[in-house]
Amino acid sequence: MDKIRKNIQRLTLYVSYLGMILLIPMMLLTTTDVLGRAIWSRPIYGSVELSSYMLAVFILLGVAYTHQVKGHVRVSMLTSRLPERASLALDLVTIILSLFIIGLLIWQGWVVGMEERAVSDMLRVPQRPFKLLVSVGAFLLWLELIIDLFATIKQITRRV
């Protein structure tokens, strides 16, 4: 199980690197567009579209890694006051509900992505790959949640 966990976490890390690579071109494109607009009154055609697509890829490919490193916002005002077993049970319920919701997101992301035929307004970029990335990012998050599920079950059974 430990080898599977490490492989999933490594995959999540590498996929997030793919998203991070797009940050530099997005930054350069936005900077060039702003300078071109301000200095020469000549914006870059389609830069807003490209930037929004790159941002979507960055976010969708990074969500699982953010969960892996526990970078999401977590309010522990209530759970910090609970006994450890109750806190673990609440974590277990939260993970199971999250698995269900993310499972729906994987399924519907795939369905909507496969049905997508639209292209962007200015550059005519097909939207299908970006909509399918919802399923990819959600699936990686689902795998990370499975890792958390087994870790939480292990903690609960160890406490018994």
CA-CA distances (angstroms) from residue 114 to 23, 30, 36, 123, 145? 27, 30, 37, 21, 25
| pLDDT, mean of residues 93-102 | 97
pLDDT at 158 over 90: no
Strand partners, 119: 126
pLDDT at 160 over 80: no
CA-based diameter of the chain, in Å? 70
Q: What is the pLDDT of residue 78?
A: 81
pLDDT at 115 over 90: yes
DSSP 43: P
Question: For residues 136 and 15, what is the distance between their CA atoms, to the nearest angstrom?
Answer: 10
Q: What is the pLDDT of residues 27-84, one digit of tens each?
A: 999 999 999 999 999 999 999 999 999 999 999 999 999 999 998 888 788 888 889 8
